[in-house]
Amino acid sequence: MTRFPTQTALTVATLGALFALLPRVAPAIKGPRLSQLASLAEFDPERTPLIPLTPHRTEEVAVEPPMRSIGKPVASLLEDANGGLDQFYAALWRTERKEAGAVTRVTHYGDSPTTADLITGDIRAQLQARFGDAGHGFILLAKPWAWYQHRGVSLSGAGWQIAPATHFEIKDGFFGLGGVSFTAGASARTRIRLDDPGQSRFELYYLQQPGGGTVTVTTKGATRDTARDTAKDTTPETTQATTQATTVTEIPTASDAKSPGFALFTVAGGASELELRTEGQVRLFGLTAEKPGPGVVYDSLGLNGASITVLSHTFNQQHWAAELRQRNPNLVVINYGTNEADFPEFVDKHYEKELREAIRRVRAALPGASILVMSPMDRGHLTGPGEIETMATIPRIVATQRRVAQDTGCGFFDTFAAMGGSGTMARWYASQPRLVSADFIHPYPAGGKIVATVFVKQIESGLSRYKLRQLQNQSSASGAVR
């Protein structure tokens, strides 16, 4: 166990007195326990109607600490003996063989670490380095939270009314693929700059609706040497003249009834920047950016304060199913449990039912896709005079997820064990440099990279097992024919 630093004690004690009054003022709202208050020294807490109340870190670590060894991962971290990941492995094998246009898509749903592209950003980078880069994937149109990030993308937006599914501000359940609705009353704009200008295939996800306005998308393409294009006899000076090809796409959103809308457009040679402007009443959900492939696309769809109930209840089932079918991922990752850990009764009596419903919805929308249940990370709390321990609900959540994944034919990845099991947050917090923030929930970048690296290694091992099974089946079939 590790002692919490004494310099934060005064801050925690003062805030503790304030939060102790919360249940008296609003009995329906459960205030945070003392074990949560230490995090307020480093995190800006944001309360949303979706319980539990959890603080969230808003700033980046200035220097990424070196990755720490956690030992050789064991095969049981990724369980796929039921064949639940075979469709994903088949797609990944085609991508590995570099078949023409073979793009493997993964859609990863998660909670607050995912909103900053922690863990998912490293998974994306490592899979793309191994199998090929087919683009960024799904990107939100503005920052619902100050710390929202998609690695390799610079994002700015203005004029939007932003409604995440976790805020319960919209009652129709239309939150698109990524769980956030962006509404423009008269006009709004978004600018997306891409570090890698090779993205050439884009798709806007929006709501078709009566009286819908228009979205104008202006793209700036890769820099082109115009002097070489126009002059027969060039000199070093004239070859420096460059231009950026600009294209404008207008997307009308008007329709007789509300329904999911999708607008696909391409940019020859790739785009380095996109600007979206609206005219009239428009409701958008996000944008995908891809390359031709072969390669991997990894969507990071995290919601601040999210729990499994976002998928099982908050999303309108028919609308979300249409969004999933349009995206058509080979693998859907369901990665919740951190926020549920605050509520033992929910974990013991209701969590399994909600998880099964979320899986049922995904499978109904994508009967041919693989589903992977990914457990939460370890989560620590203060249990006495400054002692950090793993919350008792975390192992129970992990056990439930493993059982449900086996029962429903899903894969299962044990993030909790991959980190090192019980007590990991205490060890990570005590490490130098530190791998986790002072709320004992959110990893620093190096901590996220540890989880991502083990996850990718397990995916590679699972793919190897799949290929071996296929070769054995082919050999058996050949022997039977003879």
Note whether residue 148 is domain-resident. no
Instruction: Give the least confident one: 5-19, 74-88, 142-156.
Output: 5-19
Asked if residue 211 is part of any domain, the answer here is yes
Alpha helices in 3-83 (DSSP H): 9-20, 22-25, 34-37
Of 348 and 227, the one with more pLDDT = 348
In-domain check, residue 419: yes
CATH number for 327: 3.40.50.1110
Residue 273 sits in which domain range? 153-292
pLDDT at 19: 41
Task: Judge whether residue 264 has pLDDT over 90.
Answer: yes
The H or E element that residue 246 is part of is strand 242-252
Out of 264, 292, 320, a domain closes at 292
283 and 390, same domain (yes or no): no
63 and 164 in a common domain:
no
Residue 477 domain flag? yes
Is residue 241 very low, low, confident or very high in pLDDT (cuts 50, 70, 90)?
very low
pLDDT of residue 26 exceeding 50: no
Q: Considering the chain, what is the average pLDDT of its residues? A: 83
What pairing do the DSSP bridges indicate for beta strands 103-110 and 331-335? parallel
On the question of pLDDT at 254 being above 90, the answer is yes
Is 411 a residue whose pLDDT tops 60? yes
Residue 181 lies in a domain: yes
Tell me which amino acid residue 396 is. R
In this predicted structure, the answer to whether residue 22 has a pLDDT above a threshold of 70 is no
Which secondary-structure segment (H or E) carries 110? strand 103-110
The reply to whether 318 falls in a domain is yes
Q: Tell me, what's the pLDDT at 474?
A: 81
Q: Is the domain of 269 the same as that of 297?
A: no
**Overall average pLDDT of the 167-187 stretch:** 93
| Confidence at residue 459, expressed as pLDDT on a 0 to 100 scale | 97
What is the structure's pLDDT at 244? 66
The reported pLDDT for the residue numbered 148 is: 95
Q: Are residues 247 and 205 in the same domain?
A: yes
Q: Are 67 and 446 in contact (CB under 8 A)?
A: yes
Q: Do both 172 and 254 map to the same domain? A: yes
Give the rounded percent of residues in the chain with a pLDDT score beyond 70.
Answer: 79
The predicted structure's pLDDT at residue 222: 63
* pLDDT class of 479 with cuts at 50, 70, 90: low
Nearest to 395 by CA among 412, 364, 416: 416
Residue 38 or residue 388, greater confidence: 388
Same domain (yes/no): 340, 369? yes
Give me the percent of the chain exceeding a pLDDT of 90.
Answer: 69
Identify the weakest region by mean pLDDT among 221-225, 346-350, 442-446: 221-225
We report the CATH number of the domain holding residue 175 as 2.60.120
Shared-domain flag, residues 170 and 298: no
395 and 281: one domain?
Answer: no
Q: Same structural domain for residues 213 and 348?
A: no
Q: Does the reported pTM lie above 0.75?
A: yes
Provide the pLDDT confidence category of residue 323 given band limits of 50, 70 and 90: very high
User: Does position 44 have pLDDT exceeding 70, yes or no?
Assistant: no
What is the reported pLDDT for 473? Answer: 85
Torsion, Cα 159 165 169 175, to 10 degrees, reads 60
**Among 240, 259, 292, where does a domain finish?**
292
The pLDDT assigned to 384 comes to 75
Within-domain flag for 146: no
Which own/partner contact pairs does 64-67 have at CB distance under 8 Å and 24+ positions apart?
64/444, 64/445, 64/446, 65/433, 65/434, 65/435, 65/444, 65/445, 65/446, 66/433, 66/446, 67/446, 67/449, 67/450, 67/453
Among residues 267, 292, 317, the one where a domain terminates is: 292
Instruction: Please tell me whether residues 301 and 285 are part of one structural domain.
Output: no
70 burial (CB, 10 Å; 0-12 / 13-18 / 19+) is middle
Peptide bond into 236 cis (omega under 30): no
Res. 20: pLDDT tops 80: no
**Do both 308 and 442 map to the same domain?**
yes
Structural domain total, the chain:
2
Q: 96 and 159 share a domain? A: no
Quick check: is 140 in a domain? no
